[in-house]
């Protein structure tokens, strides 16, 4: 049709007669319109056909969606019913378990290591652990009064029964809490008096700095008497000698520099008297008395910094007593009760003067009264006889086997020291 229209338009252009030209163009216009209508009808027919196809597909999809929705609804209903049934089963089981729990209760607790030690559970732990725990709990209830003079036989004024009543009377006058009471009292070998309280809280209350002087006052004691509570001693080897353990500011600086709690260090002192140091000696053995086992264990595990020097403390193991009169190591007496006729010098071993009056400076002139060896005094802790007596003593003390100070809530503090408790032998044959 488009070709006919084009041909008519060319024919009209070649005509000379205006009438013929107009007629031909009119016919071409009609043919063009006729072609447009045919095309429109064809397009309409094609679109309608496609719409019918789409409508059919949409209808099929709608029917399928409806069926799927119905199936989902049925599945949801079934799932809900299953869940309700499961909930009922769980409820019944819970009720039965509760009934069984009431009939046979089971208590589960995450107790401390110390509780495990004394609980009797399997596998059994060493008996020394329980013994150590009991000793630690007993020491925590004690405090000591230094400066007391042990009574002579027949002196009833200082009998334990009288002293116990005296201690409780002092607490009453101080208006101490009702649960702060003395349980018992015992004289110590060095003349001190040890009180045991009914609770650990009571011992801490009396030993508190703000209560010590008041207790001594109401106790009727001498102002020179001192109260000391439980402390934990550690030894610090190779401490610079320019450190002053008697300076409270120096001790405070040690606490700050090592992130310790204020007042953690109760006391510090040199093990060997300054007068006995070697010429040009730069380091010495320092004893620190700490307030808590936790602070002492932290120092033992992580070390201390004193005067800028990193140091590795060690636990102070119990040492045998040395009589300052006869110089016997392992003696069961002190100088005040020693039966020796005269003093023995702890440095040179002679009996014509005491240790303080000794003028020996040359280490080669020193003589040990206990092992009979020259080169060291009776006070020397490297003496083989002293080492033997120390081993014998530690074998009788359960605490000595532990590297740290055992605490109830820290299992790592119960680590045993390698080789601890081994005995060393010494006899007169070792002397020369």
Q: What is the pLDDT of residues 199-214, one digit of tens each?
A: 989 988 988 888 888 8
Q: How far apart are CA 192 and CA 344, in angstroms?
A: 25
Q: Look at residues 156, 158, 132, 135 and name the one whose alpha carbon lies nearest to residue 145.
A: 158
pLDDT number for residue 37? 66
Phi-psi region of 154 (alpha: psi -120 to 50; beta: other; left: phi over 0): left
Percent of the chain with pLDDT over 90: 30
Q: Domain 139-228 - what CATH class? A: alpha beta
Q: How far apart are CA 248 and CA 239, in angstroms?
A: 17
Give the pLDDT confidence of 237-294 residue by residue, as tens digits. 999 999 999 999 999 999 999 999 988 898 899 988 888 888 889 999 999 999 888 9
pLDDT number for residue 7? 65
E strand or H helix at 267, and its extent?
Answer: strand 265-270
pLDDT number for residue 410? 80
Residue with tokens 């636990």: 315
Q: Is the pTM of this model over 0.75?
A: no
207-211 long-range CB contacts below 8 Å, 24 or more apart? Answer: 207/143, 211/174
Higher pLDDT, residue 53 or 38 = 53
| Arch. (CATH architecture) of 232-315 | 2-Layer Sandwich (3.30)
Q: How far apart are CA 98 and CA 90, in angstroms?
A: 12
Compute CA distances 401 → 38, 105, 113, 432, whole Å: 115, 39, 17, 33
Give the pLDDT confidence of 363-410 residue by residue, as tens digits. 999 999 999 999 999 999 899 999 999 888 888 877 777 888 888 778
Asked if pLDDT for residue 56 goes beyond 80, the answer is no
pLDDT number for residue 91? 72
């Amino acid at each position: 049709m488009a070709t006919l229209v084009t041909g008519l338009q060319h024919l009209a252009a070649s005509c000379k007669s205006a009438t013929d030209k107009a007629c031909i163009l009119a016919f071409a216009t009609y043919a063009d319109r006729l072609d447009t209508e045919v095309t429109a009808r064809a397009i309409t027919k094609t679109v309608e056909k496609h719409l019918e196809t789409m409508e059919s597909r949409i209808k099929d999809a709608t029917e399928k969606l409806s069926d799927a929705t119905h199936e989902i609804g049925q599945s949801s209903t079934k799932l809900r019913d299953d869940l309700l049934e499961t909930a009922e089963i769980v409820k019944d089981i819970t009720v039965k378990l509760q009934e069984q729990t009431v009939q046979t209760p089971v208590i589960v607790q995450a107790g401390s290591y110390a509780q495990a030690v004394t609980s009797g559970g399997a596998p059994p732990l060493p008996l020394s652990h329980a013994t150590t725990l009991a000793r630690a709990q007993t020491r925590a209830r004690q405090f000591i009064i230094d400066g007391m003079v042990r009574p002579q036989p027949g002196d009833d004024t200082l009998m334990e029964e009288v002293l116990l009543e005296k201690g409780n009377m002092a607490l009453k006058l101080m208006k101490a809490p009702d649960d702060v009471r003395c349980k018992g009292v015992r004289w110590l070998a060095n003349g001190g008096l040890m009180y045991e309280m009914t609770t650990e809280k009571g011992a801490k209350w009396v030993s508190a700095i703000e209560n010590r002087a008041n207790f001594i006052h109401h106790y009727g004691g001498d102002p020179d008497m001192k109260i000391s509570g439980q402390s934990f001693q550690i030894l610090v080897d190779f401490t610079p000698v320019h450190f002053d353990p008697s300076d409270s500011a120096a001790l405070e600086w040690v606490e700050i520099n090592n992130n310790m709690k204020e007042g953690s260090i109760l006391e510090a002192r040199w093990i060997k008297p300054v007068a006995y140091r070697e010429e040009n000696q730069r380091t010495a053995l320092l004893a620190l008395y700490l307030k808590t086992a936790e602070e002492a264990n932290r120092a033992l595990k992580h070390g201390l910094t004193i005067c800028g020097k990193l140091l590795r403390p060690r636990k102070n193991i119990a040492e045998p007593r040395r009589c300052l009169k006869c110089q016997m190591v392992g003696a069961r007496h002190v100088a005040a009760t020693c039966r020796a006729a005269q003093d023995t010098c702890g440095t040179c071993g002679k009996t014509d003067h005491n240790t303080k009056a000794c003028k020996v400076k040359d280490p080669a002139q020193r003589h040990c009264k206990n092992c009979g060896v020259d080169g060291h005094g009776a006070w020397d802790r490297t003496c083989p006889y002293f080492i033997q007596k120390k081993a014998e003593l530690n074998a009788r003390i359960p605490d000595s086997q532990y590297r740290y100070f055992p605490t109830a809530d820290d299992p790592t503090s119960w680590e045993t020291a390698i080789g601890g408790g081994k005995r060393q032998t010494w006899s007169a044959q070792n002397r020369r």
